[in-house]
Structure 1
Amino acid sequence: MTSAYIDEGDLRNSPGIKIFKARAAYVQLAPSRIFDYHTLSMRLLNTQTLKLQEFYADIPRYAILSHTWEKEVTFQDIQNLKVAKQKAGTTSSGSGLTHAASNKESSAELSEAINSMYQYYEDAAVCYVYLCDVSIELHPRNPKSTFKDSRWFKRGWTLQELVAPRNVVFLDTDWVRIGTRWTLRDVVSAITSVPVEVFEGRDINTYSVAQRMSWAALRETTRPEDQAYSLMGIFEVSMPPIYGEGGAKAFMRLQQEIIKISDDRSIFAWVAASSEHYKRRGLLARSPYEFRMSGEVKAIDSYCVGDRSSYSFGNNGLRIHLPLETIDDSGRSDDVVLASLLCQSERDYSFLSFYLQKTNQHQYVRCYPDQLVFRPTLQPALSNIQELTVREVPVTRRSRFDTRPSRYGSAVLYHADLLPSARHFLCTDYRPSPVLHSPNSNRVSVQVEPCSSYRIHKLTYKTQVTGEAFTIRLWHYWCTNLPYYTLQLGDRPLEEPPFFIDPSRDDGTVVRTSSGAISVHCEVTGRSDRRLEIDFIDQDSLEIDFWTQTLQPSDSGFIVPSKVDRRLLYGRHDGMFPLIRVYPASLYVKTWQDMAYIPMFPADDGDTTSVSFRILTYGTEDGKSVFHVAIGLLGISSWISWTELVVDKGKKSAEKVYQYYLNRSKADKRRLRQRSAWSDSTHEGGLTASVQERSSLQLGTHLLRLE
């Protein structure tokens, strides 16, 4: 293919170009679709010349962009600036043009591009995530921030763009840095359900198939088939895209490709929607949504079943060996059995089984597909399985820019920049080597050389107003081929750092001071140099707590209905009351089509009368409340659940109801321990709220019923 050139006239002063000129020499243009499948070349945009360059080998370090637009800017559009600027998302003087381009003229090229997308993001030095619908007015840890609501976190394709790159930087609608995946790892984990350990460097292949599927459960794609195609890189499989086959068929093909290289039976650990309770199904899921409850499911080693662990597809279904056990349940027919999945819950180590119904001598279908049942043990079903199988080891993927130890490293130039909020601090000491001063008085540059022993560089900053000081220590140990830095309060003397250090800490850190908080962020770019951004958050800032706290998920919580039939209140069916609010808000609240997950944090002070609770508000589509439900846990030792129903026809706000329960006496709270249900008789239909502990696979520990 010939190189394409971009009209640079309107791009020179665009925000996007300025950012990438400063931080990367090359930018990948929509990597999944600028791939020459004949010559195996890569096109990169040179941010200095604003021209596309084609590379066949020795591909340079490059930055990459992840974004969502209302309309896509194609490869043909990028060659005609006037056409491209008319498309949504390119109003910032063509800033979007530097990142969005595609070529779909060849189906073969499109197929190879889709199968290569994960690798493009994995090989990038840094990925910039442009959130066009987010403004950095509130810190992302603030539940009122628009960060959690960004369309980017809800799209199917952006899951691999979140987990594949080594370094991820989030930018808001004005191209202002919000933070990084490392500094915001707890927030991003709460929003996406991807475990925080993934953002701390844990290999995603150590998670079960079901766990990885659960990360995509609530994500959406424009084309239904893309729900499957966007997950190929996550599972290291390839298959040709067939647009038009439908989302269910595409997802079935994806699972078949996974089965070819893995005997992880958690791929069958899914639950259908409650509306399918009486439907018959096979063993394969229809969409990632059916793995929404499977984040805690792990597979156990398959050697316990010997060579019977393998399974294959035939023209009449999936052929598989399953440990079966009969069930003693008068409510189920005699031809229904339980089949073990060889999977466990990471929470309580229970084994998971599902229901099968026999249709003829050797054939079964899955029944009650909305349930996975807990079993205490696999024995005696496995006691007589003693066969052996040889497993094929899959070829693992490795990034070109991995961090394998190297005997030789290169010097790294650090630029320490004081942001406007921190310019009341001055650099008062730097040791041991001289620094490189720039015309900008707010920048200090230090070149850190790799050496066979720890050689520490120290930058000390101090303010004359309060006398507060902080110290940044830099060093580069040759055996890791990675530079490091730490942030500490005060004027610390030079000393050896700890021998074992997490390389990810190069990405950012925050420490609290008496007058506020100091934040140091390392900007990792496509270039070899690095930029330290020093920020100060004033003590009076409403956002300071969100800067310095770390979100922690809860193991306890409630599954509640996301909609309530109006008939329960009014005795007639004229629609549904949706769950319109949860108070206090939490980033860990999840809402699905038929249910919602409400996290709960039991009190940890040993007081059995202390209550952890939230107020659920059900109302009309226009936001008017109809009734509230209070749910909570009493004490930490017993985790006694409770609920009360408040039907007020919109007279009380959720805040007022919450304050009422907060102010109740200890005696009142003790009485709550004896109450598991609350009924309302003021309406023709009546309504009862009750809670119970979970008995099958679900998020949290309890279930709320409104009947």
Structure 2
Amino acid sequence: MRLLNTKTLKLEEFFTDIPPYAILSHTWEKEEVTFKDIQNPITARLKAGYAKIKNACVRARRYDFRWIWIDTCCINKESSAELSEAINSMYQYYMDAAVCYVYLSDVSAELHPRNPNSRFSRSRWFSRGWTLQELLAPQYVVFVDKEWASIGTRWGLRDVISAITSIPMQVFEGRHIEEYSIAQRMSWAASRQTTRPEDEAYCLMGIFSVSMPPIYGEGGPKAFMRLQQEIIKISDDRSIFAWASPTHSDEARGLLARSPHEFLASGDVEASDSGTIGLKSSFSFGNNGLHIHLPLARVNSSSPLYLASLHCQSGRDGSYVGVYLIKEGQRYYRVDVHDVPLSPFPPLVDDMQEVIVTEALPPRPILPRSIHEYSAKLLPSARHFSCDTVPSPTFSISRFGMHESLVYKSRNTRDSFTIAYSSYPPDMYWKLGDETLRNDDQMKDMALQLLEDGGYISVTCEVTGNHSQRILEIDYISEKDPEAAFLEPKVPPHSGFIVERWLVGCQSTLAEIYPPDPFGKQLDYGLTYVTVSDTVKGESFRVLSYKSGNGGREIIYIALGFEGLEPWLDVVVCEDIQSSENIEDIWKSYSDIDGSRTQKRLSCKTSASDYFGRYQDLNVVLEKRRKLQLGSHVLSYKLVPLV
């Protein structure tokens, strides 16, 4: 691979003994500096993208990296052989990097990513196909804003990133992606786009541990079909067929999807259980189609339509996933591809006693990194703290078998905090207060502590070009800082509801959700996914407000959530927006112990109605989902004429 010297900005090629290097992840802009450009410094400096390369090198040098890899200039894209090698090796490049710097050119660090007004969640970087593997592969990820100021780390922002990407937080806490089903991993790419349609498939090769030659010009669906065929060669997980087309069509198709977008609702589909099928769990392609064993149940005796179970279940409620097949001659085709039915009953199969032993995929190699030296560094915001235990606020431990605690005290208040080190193997760690980060916790690189004055101390472990060294950068965030409210991580909820953004007959539009829903999503066809925590007190329900858009004075409030494990809803129609309760008052009326509507929440009713207009009621109903989709329940409504 070629690496760029961070000091001279010259390329050098390495075949073995690759030195420690940083790597840049970014979205391509106008006038990027190419491999050819970087050979001529005068030409390179004339391009707008030169500033990005220079600033990336400056940051890497700040942490003792002599080398950096940047895709725009380290690959000779004029060589098809080299381009093919780079595309197939890209995941490994990012995984082997000591640290990945993610440059967000459309984000400012002035607002914390948990602040709803921050552009972090709306950054173009989170919508691109190639950046998915650049998020997953590296061991350490640091986000920087358009001015190259630090925004945070993947570990420290794992809840925010999970909300943006729908990737479970456990992935960012160290769980191997191979433990997730094919359908789940495909769903992580469902909302991403690539400039070239074929890249929708090529950017996923590393995530599924497969290789194939890129053939630009073959088209996105064909490239994605080739990707699935390569996956099938190494996996018998039938969740690869658990997809749903986002559009209704009468077209008969096969069992393979045409793009990752068809896996949007498959994020909770678990891997199929090969043990229940035995030797018939394997499947393969012949020259006349996919050869697979499926349990078929005829939908009705007079129809050639069958329901075929895929032997995989929804992780949300344990229901079994199936698809509809129709028989024409001696072949079957998949129909109603927008519909993936769920069944509470396991599929009926013949007596299959034989089993097959499959080879597990070898774990991805991880470069060894023995850490035995930490340095503490106060950032400008924390300069009012002084270190009581050593003369200098920066202290390094470089001798094995040493334990040390650095106590920092504020010169302005009584606040203090302690950073403890241990370099005694095998129990090497650093800790801030009660939070311990051990040497083998490679994903953990940030700790947070609340101080008595209401502010926070944040310690981020920055990676350096020396495998054995780390720098602990200490930041202070005052309680008066508006971003302090967004520092504590939040656990993504598991439950949610599909609601309509427009109540057509009422001429009303969804205007507000309270409390705000950071994990919700706007879907196609005017639908919104509203999440509700089933574990966090005070967040077990939300209130939606719908306001009239045609000059009407009505405002409609719909409260919905869970009481224990039981769903409930209620509806309140206010005829005058000016004199009505606001949405927070409505929420409190259900939340307070003696609230005026608390009993309606405790009753766990799944349907409710209220007077709307002069001659009709608004009737709202919660129903359990009947097909594979986001959320566990669907909200529907209708206007009922008064008798």
- Report what 1:522 is aligned to: 461
- Work out the CA distance in 2 between the residues paired with 1:244 and 1:154: 23
2:346 aligned residue (375, 378, 382): 378
CA contact (8 A) 1:617 1:625 kept: no
Give the letter aligned to residue 270 of structure 1: W
Please state how far the C-alpha of 1:368 moved relative to its aligned partner: 2.3
**Cα distance change, pair 653–445 in 1 and its aligned pair in 2 (3 A):** farther
- Work out the CA distance in 1 between the residues paired with 2:496 and 2:511: 18
Please state how far the C-alpha of 1:618 moved relative to its aligned partner: 7.7
Give the letter aligned to residue 343 of structure 2: R
- Report what 1:311 is aligned to: 283
- Report what 2:396 is aligned to: 446
For each residue in 1:2-53, what CA deviation from the matched residue of structure 2 results, as whole angstroms up to 9, or x when unmatched? xxxxxxxxxxxxxxxxxxxxxxxxxxxxxxxxxxxxxxxx221222333222
- Report what 1:367 is aligned to: 335
- Work out the CA distance in 2 between the residues paired with 1:653 and 1:588: 31
Aligned runs of 1:139-154 on 2, under 5 Å? 139-154=112-127
Give the letter aligned to residue 485 of structure 1: W
- Work out the CA distance in 2 between the residues paired with 1:202 and 1:355: 34
For the pair 1:287 / 2:259, whether they are aligned, the reply is yes
- Work out the CA distance in 2 between the residues paired with 1:655 and 1:60: 64
- Work out the CA distance in 1 between the residues paired with 2:283 and 2:596: 59
- Report what 1:424 is aligned to: 384
Please state how far the C-alpha of 1:83 moved relative to its aligned partner: 4.7
Please state how far the C-alpha of 1:370 moved relative to its aligned partner: 2.2
- Report what 1:7 is aligned to: none
- Report what 2:35 is aligned to: 75
Count of matched residue pairs: 614
2:297 aligned residue (310, 325, 328): 325
**Cα distance change, pair 51–118 in 1 and its aligned pair in 2 (3 A):** same
For the pair 1:536 / 2:492, whether they are aligned, the reply is no
For the pair 1:166 / 2:139, whether they are aligned, the reply is yes
For each residue in 1:99-153, what CA deviation from the matched residue of structure 2 results, as whole angstroms up to 9, or x when unmatched? 4414211222211110110010011011111111110112112222111111111
- Report what 1:55 is aligned to: 14
Give the letter aligned to residue 596 of structure 1: T
- Work out the CA distance in 2 between the residues paired with 1:95 and 1:307: 56
**Cα distance change, pair 302–112 in 1 and its aligned pair in 2 (3 A):** same
Unaligned runs of 5+ in 1: 1-41, 404-408, 438-442, 490-496, 571-576
Give the letter aligned to residue 352 of structure 2: I
CA contact (8 A) 2:162 2:492 kept: no
Normalised to the residue count of structure 1, the TM-score between the two structures is 0.79
CA contact (8 A) 1:143 1:586 kept: no
**Cα distance change, pair 92–310 in 1 and its aligned pair in 2 (3 A):** closer
SS of structure 2 residue aligned to 1:56: coil
- Work out the CA distance in 2 between the residues paired with 1:521 and 1:255: 39
- Work out the CA distance in 1 between the residues paired with 2:362 and 2:536: 46
For the pair 1:389 / 2:389, whether they are aligned, the reply is no
- Report what 1:488 is aligned to: 433
- Work out the CA distance in 2 between the residues paired with 1:205 and 1:345: 18
Give the letter aligned to residue 487 of structure 1: L
2:212 aligned residue (232, 239, 254): 239
For the pair 1:639 / 2:579, whether they are aligned, the reply is no
SS of structure 2 residue aligned to 1:201: coil
CA contact (8 A) 1:507 1:524 kept: no
- Work out the CA distance in 1 between the residues paired with 2:529 and 2:408: 46
For each residue in 1:363-419, what CA deviation from the matched residue of structure 2 results, as whole angstroms up to 9, or x when unmatched? 22222222222323325x2251233435344454313x145xxxxx5742x321111
For the pair 1:550 / 2:489, whether they are aligned, the reply is yes
- Report what 2:224 is aligned to: 251
CA contact (8 A) 2:272 2:310 kept: no
Give the letter aligned to residue 531 of structure 2: P
For the pair 1:698 / 2:622, whether they are aligned, the reply is no
Aligned runs of 1:26-37 on 2, under 5 Å? none
- Work out the CA distance in 1 between the residues paired with 2:437 and 2:524: 50
- Work out the CA distance in 2 between the residues paired with 1:108 and 1:262: 28
For the pair 1:213 / 2:186, whether they are aligned, the reply is yes
For the pair 1:470 / 2:442, whether they are aligned, the reply is no
Please state how far the C-alpha of 1:659 moved relative to its aligned partner: 3.8
CA contact (8 A) 2:430 2:436 kept: no
CA contact (8 A) 1:604 1:636 kept: no
Please state how far the C-alpha of 1:171 moved relative to its aligned partner: 0.6
- Work out the CA distance in 1 between the residues paired with 2:294 and 2:306: 11
Please state how far the C-alpha of 1:297 moved relative to its aligned partner: 1.2
- Work out the CA distance in 2 between the residues paired with 1:160 and 1:537: 32
Aligned runs of 1:554-565 on 2, under 5 Å? 554-561=493-500
- Work out the CA distance in 1 between the residues paired with 2:581 and 2:387: 47
- Work out the CA distance in 1 between the residues paired with 2:416 and 2:365: 42
CA contact (8 A) 2:245 2:262 kept: yes
CA contact (8 A) 2:494 2:534 kept: no
CA contact (8 A) 1:448 1:474 kept: no
1:592 aligned residue (512, 523, 542): 523
- Work out the CA distance in 2 between the residues paired with 1:523 and 1:500: 15
- Work out the CA distance in 2 between the residues paired with 1:506 and 1:449: 23
For the pair 1:612 / 2:541, whether they are aligned, the reply is yes
SS of structure 1 residue aligned to 2:325: strand
CA contact (8 A) 1:645 1:689 kept: no
For each residue in 1:57-112, what CA deviation from the matched residue of structure 2 results, as whole angstroms up to 9, or x when unmatched? 21101010101132233212333455545555545695368844142112222111
**Cα distance change, pair 613–262 in 1 and its aligned pair in 2 (3 A):** same
- Work out the CA distance in 2 between the residues paired with 1:118 and 1:518: 34
SS of structure 1 residue aligned to 2:388: strand
- Work out the CA distance in 2 between the residues paired with 1:57 and 1:625: 72
SS of structure 2 residue aligned to 1:641: strand
For each residue in 1:193-244, what CA deviation from the matched residue of structure 2 results, as whole angstroms up to 9, or x when unmatched? 1111111111111111011111111111111111111000000111111222
**Cα distance change, pair 450–410 in 1 and its aligned pair in 2 (3 A):** farther
- Report what 2:65 is aligned to: none
**Cα distance change, pair 120–474 in 1 and its aligned pair in 2 (3 A):** same
CA contact (8 A) 1:688 1:706 kept: yes
- Report what 2:641 is aligned to: none
- Work out the CA distance in 1 between the residues paired with 2:39 and 2:324: 57
Aligned runs of 1:223-234 on 2, under 5 Å? 223-234=196-207
Give the letter aligned to residue 183 of structure 2: A
CA contact (8 A) 2:606 2:622 kept: no
- Report what 2:153 is aligned to: 180
CA contact (8 A) 1:518 1:535 kept: yes
CA contact (8 A) 1:458 1:473 kept: yes
Give the letter aligned to residue 554 of structure 1: P
CA contact (8 A) 1:428 1:461 kept: yes
For the pair 1:334 / 2:265, whether they are aligned, the reply is no
CA RMSD, aligned part only? 3.5
CA contact (8 A) 2:384 2:410 kept: yes
- Report what 2:450 is aligned to: 512
Give the letter aligned to residue 287 of structure 2: N
Normalised to the residue count of structure 2, the TM-score between the two structures is 0.86
For each residue in 1:451-508, what CA deviation from the matched residue of structure 2 results, as whole angstroms up to 9, or x when unmatched? 4xxx31221111243232211111124347xx4200118xxxxxxx989875237511
